Amino acid sequence: MQVRAFLFDFDGLILDTELASRAGWELLYREHGHELPTDLWATLVGTTHAPWNPMDHLEELVGEPLERETLNERRYAHEIAMIEAEELRPGIEEYLASARRHGLKRAIVSSSTRRWVDMHLERLEEAVGWDAIYTADGDPARAKPSPTLYLEALQALGVDASEAVAFEDSPNGVRAAKAAGIFCIAVPNDVTRDLGLEEAGADLVLDSLADLPPETLFRRLGER
């Protein structure tokens, strides 16, 4: 297998936003005397297209209308405060540098909005150098687990699926990459570690991307 492109998920993969996102909702649930159901929360990870809505659910538990705008503002502030303390996840910087050295295309493929991704990339000083950034921007038809974003990225890069490697952290992301025909490495975080990444179809699951240096990956894939 000749690798010509690395395609990275963003939330939970490049930057660990997943824990902060869950913590924001846990805060609201606890304030109202309830616990966030982790099994239902898992359906939201890696996508914006899921049948379960945590605010609707909390309102049902409370039994009366909630001040949604106020609650979302507090949740978002709590989430951002946590995320701003985060840096690139281990191994990401090495893979980005390796892609530059080898002349590989680099893309971000995310179910989030472009504004969200750009905001964090700028803080991390990683806003430049990407060959493509594809985001769902609130369109559930394009969000993972649909392969649409991956297929769009491959077309923009001029790369065949057999020449790309996708890096994901969630089952929804893995399913999207595999549906697009891409070799997928799953690197879970504390939120996604027990969500069944192998069952979702990941070709390889790592505790950390730092556990597999890029040159070792190239050698392994060269033997395929």
Q: List residues with catalytic annotation.
A: 9, 11
Asked if 216 and 197 touch (Cβ cutoff 8 Å), the reply is no
Write the CB contacts of 61 (distance below 8 Å, at least 6 apart in sequence): 32, 34
Residue 11: strand pairing partners? 15
Angstrom distance (rounded) from CA 68 to CA 60: 13
Cβ neighbour number for residue 29 with a 10 Å cutoff: 19
Query: What is the residue whose two structure tokens read 């985060």?
Result: 86
Q: For residue 14, give both structure tokens.
A: 């490049």
| Side-chain-facing half-sphere of 32: CA atoms under 13 Å | 22
